[in-house]
Structure 1
Amino acid sequence: MSDGQTRQTAPWRVAVMAASWQERASLQALVEANPALEFLASAADAEKLVDCLAGSVPDVIVTDIAPEPSDALKTLFELSHASPSLVVLSDDPDSDWMLDALPADAVAILPRNAMPAEIVASIEAVAAGLCVLTPDILARLLAETRPSRQKAPAEPFEALTLREIEVLAMLADGLGNKEIARQLDISDNTVKFHLSSIFGKLGATNRTEAVMLGMRHGFIMV
């Protein structure tokens, strides 16, 4: 969120990706009706969306994800060489695979039947660097972290280094690998190395869980 203060007065740039043209039209109309948002492009898949964007980088991508894992979203991030925030609308938002199947920068997961006001609020929240989860997802994540806390006395976790704490704090701010690398003046591979070490030390399986465990153990505050 290093440029958050400079972007607050300008509309957040939003792109839409959905298989159904009706869904794309509905989401486009929702974005265009809000003066705080600027619609950039829409497409049925990741590759077509990258073509439609023609080099423009959205602040947020709203996508109607299929109810099964797909490489399409990962392809979008690889092709665009950017780290926009992501708002995902899904029939099964609290499924076991959802968090692991999404790209690392996905920070909002909503049910497909979310109200328009909820979608708009989520777009603005993730653009500002916040995380949006349904109560069911949050409850499941909290439940999954409890065994780690119970095992702590018998199996103390390894303390994070100062650099790892920096990286973890940037994860909590919603930054992607490329932005973390830029701010710390390190390579993408070094960021991945730090993330792997953080996950291993905290016993986390994804970025969201790492942030929650980091908060629980007092490494970061948000």
Structure 2
Amino acid sequence: MAQMRPVRVVVIAEAPQVRAGLQALVDATPSLGFVGSAPDGEKLVIGFAGSLPDVIVIDLEPEASDTLRSSFDAALDATQAPLALVLLTDDTDIEWIHEAVPDNVMAILPRDAAPGEIVAAIEAAAAGLCVLPPEILARLLAGRKPPRPLASAVHIEALTAREIEVLAMLAEGLGNKEIARQLTISDNTVKFHLSAIFGKLGATSRTEAVMLGMRHGFIMV
């Protein structure tokens, strides 16, 4: 079996000691391969030399300059490749994460994350997986937009006893002919009841009618 090539990694960090530390970590990990590093994205792309990375690790200091924050787009535009980004930051401001971080960011870790956590995040990002610390995940979930109002907030006309019977049989997966046989009514009468049920619930299909019937408490499955 052919051995998989190492994940190609580049590093963006303003501090030289941080760049050196991340390079040493990548060099010490057999599954990773170091491609290059730079203080910002614009300088980094000059050193690609045809060897595009799989993952870019970006260290974002608390007082990071605007140049570094804008290096996301610079690196991505220059490579013209769908790179995965691993962001090391202590800034968990939700508005900034939503607005400034590009879709390519696959992992967000604190800057003091353990070496093993950084390696795992790089490998996960290369595989298309997302990595978030529990506290950041909780903040992101808490910052989601409120769900759309449920249809139950709209006035629904009550179903008749017969319509509820027909709806319950729909939920059991019965067809029109079987419903007609069990209720001793004609196929046309079944169609009439279905039309009334769809109109009252605002449904456009049998499945939707069943789901809305359950949501509004007309039937239970």
Fold shared, TM-score > 0.5 on shorter chain: yes
Matched, 1:90 2:85: no
| Regions of 4+ moved over 6 Å | none
Q: Aligned residue for 2:25?
A: 30
* Structure 1 CA distance for aligned equivalents of residues 145 and 49 of structure 2: 45
TM-score (norm 2): 0.62
Residue-by-residue CA offset, 1:1-37 (whole Å, 9 max, x unaligned): xxxxx9x721111001100100000000000000000
Q: Is the 8 A contact 2:106 2:130 kept in 1?
A: yes
Unaligned 5+ segments in structure 2 are: 155-221
Matched residue SS, 1:117? helix
Residue 74 of structure 1: CA displacement?
A: 1.1
Residue 105 of structure 1: CA displacement?
A: 0.6
Cα-Cα RMSD: 2.3
1:107–1:154 Cα change, 3 Å: farther
Matched residue SS, 1:96? helix
Q: Aligned residue for 1:153?
A: 151
Q: Percent identity?
A: 51
Matched residue SS, 1:107? strand
Q: Aligned residue for 1:186?
A: none
Residue-by-residue CA offset, 1:157-199 (whole Å, 9 max, x unaligned): xxxxxxxxxxxxxxxxxxxxxxxxxxxxxxxxxxxxxxxxxxx
1:76–1:152 Cα change, 3 Å: farther
* Structure 2 CA distance for aligned equivalents of residues 83 and 155 of structure 1: 43
Q: Is the 8 A contact 1:85 1:107 kept in 2?
A: yes
* Structure 1 CA distance for aligned equivalents of residues 56 and 32 of structure 2: 12
Q: Aligned residue for 1:61?
A: 56
Q: Aligned residue for 1:73?
A: 72
Matched, 1:12 2:7: yes
Q: Is the 8 A contact 1:93 1:110 kept in 2?
A: no
* Structure 1 CA distance for aligned equivalents of residues 151 and 76 of structure 2: 40
Matching of residues 167-206 of structure 1 within 5 Å: none
Q: Is the 8 A contact 2:9 2:54 kept in 1?
A: yes
Unaligned 5+ segments in structure 1 are: 1-5, 157-222
Q: Is the 8 A contact 2:87 2:109 kept in 1?
A: yes
* Structure 1 CA distance for aligned equivalents of residues 10 and 85 of structure 2: 10
TM-score (norm 1): 0.61
Q: Is the 8 A contact 2:94 2:140 kept in 1?
A: no
Matched residue SS, 1:147? coil
1:114–1:57 Cα change, 3 Å: same
Residue-by-residue CA offset, 1:40-79 (whole Å, 9 max, x unaligned): 0011110111001123210101110244662221111111
* Structure 1 CA distance for aligned equivalents of residues 153 and 14 of structure 2: 47
1:146–1:56 Cα change, 3 Å: same
Matched, 1:44 2:39: yes
**How many aligned residue pairs are there?**
149
Matched residue SS, 1:13? strand
Moved more, 104-113 or 134-143: 134-143
* Structure 2 CA distance for aligned equivalents of residues 115 and 49 of structure 1: 25
> What amino acid maps onto 1:141 in structure 2?
L
* Structure 2 CA distance for aligned equivalents of residues 43 and 130 of structure 1: 25
* Structure 2 CA distance for aligned equivalents of residues 134 and 87 of structure 1: 13
